[in-house]
Amino acid sequence: GDSVTQMEGPVTLSEEAFLTINCTYTATGYPSLFWYVQYPGEGLQLLLKATKADDKGSNKGFEATYRKETTSFHLEKGSVQVSDSAVYFCALKRSNFGNEKLTFGTGTRLTIIP
Amino acid sequence: GAGVSQSPRYKVAKRGQDVALRCDPISGHVSLFWYQQALGQGPEFLTYFQNEAQLDKSGLPSDRFFAERPEGSVSTLKIQRTQQEDSAVYLCASSSGTEAFFGQGTRLTVV
């Protein structure tokens, strides 16, 4: 079945450091890939997405590129801020009409220290 | 409303008690999902509705779990005879087809 494997946390970085959170997936066909973020006390929010191979999703300075050859969708940011402290989830969705359910990784807790 | 609303936010139930969790999706969203998120884990799919039709319930862990969406809007997830392993955050999401929007969840603690 479908699965998402995420870099285990927690991850602690200093402000302005470079961030990479690894994500690899297993799925048949050509899934869409997502990064969701959960800030303290809030619900899951879509951060970025990519729907086909070589697509790059980007938002709020975060980027991730859909790599079909390595089945990966690693999240990167060049200079993190304290406000980026949150839990990040990688997810996939198979392109089945009529069912858009998401398969999530276990999440990576990121803490940025000033 | 402005977003997906779930109630209650917190629920403590004694083992064996029945509980009902409510989800108010974004108005007009056809698709509605329920997920279960155990502590330190990612959300796990439970069930999916398209309007009032429950098209996929493959993720429901046992026959104690039941979900409905009778008028294609508000949905209720019911858990009968709760067990300690049911303790988790239950997330509801709705979608119009492009992006899923999540509620803040209901944290269920079974004691």
Interface touch B42/A100, C-beta < 8 Å: no
- Decide: helix, strand or coil at residue B85: helix
- Dihedral sign of CA atoms B100, B103, B105, B106 in order: negative
pLDDT confidence tier of residue A8, bands split at 50, 70 and 90: confident
pLDDT at B21 over 90: yes
Q: Which candidate in B30, B37, B39, B95 is best for mutational testing of the A interface (most A CBs within 10 A)?
A: B37
Bridge partners, residue B12, by sequence: B109
Question: Strand ranges (DSSP E) for chain B?
Answer: 5-7, 10-13, 19-24, 31-37, 44-50, 53-56, 65-68, 75-79, 88-95, 100-102, 106-110
Distance CA A17, CA A35 (A): 20
Distance CA B23, CA A68 (A): 36
Q: Closest by alpha carbon to A25, among A69, A83, A85?
A: A69
pLDDT confidence tier of residue B1, bands split at 50, 70 and 90: low
Bridge partners, residue A65, by sequence: A56
Residue with tokens 């990784």: A105
Query: Residue range B70-77: average pLDDT?
Result: 96
- Computed on alpha carbons and rounded to an integer, the radius of gyration of chain A in Å comes to 14
Residue B80 sits at the vertex; the CA angle it makes with B77 and B84, to the nearest 5 degrees, is: 100
Give the A window 39-68 contacts with B, CB below 8 Å: 41-46, 49
Comparing A9 with A21, which gets the higher pLDDT? A21
| DSSP, res A16 | T
Note whether A89 contacts B: Cβ–Cβ < 8 A. Answer: yes
pLDDT digits (tens, 9 = 90+) for A18-47: 999 999 999 988 899 999 999 988 889 999
Residue with tokens 């980007």: A58
pLDDT digits (tens, 9 = 90+) for A41-79: 888 999 999 999 999 999 999 999 999 999 999 999 999
pLDDT digits (tens, 9 = 90+) for B32-72: 999 999 998 999 999 999 999 999 999 999 999 999 999 99
Note whether A91 contacts B: Cβ–Cβ < 8 A. Answer: yes
Interface touch B56/A106, C-beta < 8 Å: no
3-state helix, strand and coil shares in percent for chain A, rounded to the nearest 5 = 5, 55, 45
Give the B window 17-36 contacts with A, CB below 8 Å: 31, 33, 35
- Decide: helix, strand or coil at residue B86: helix
Average pLDDT, chain B: 95
- Dihedral sign of CA atoms A20, A26, A30, A34 in order: negative
Residue with tokens 């800030």: A39
Average pLDDT, chain A: 93
Residue with tokens 């959170």: A21
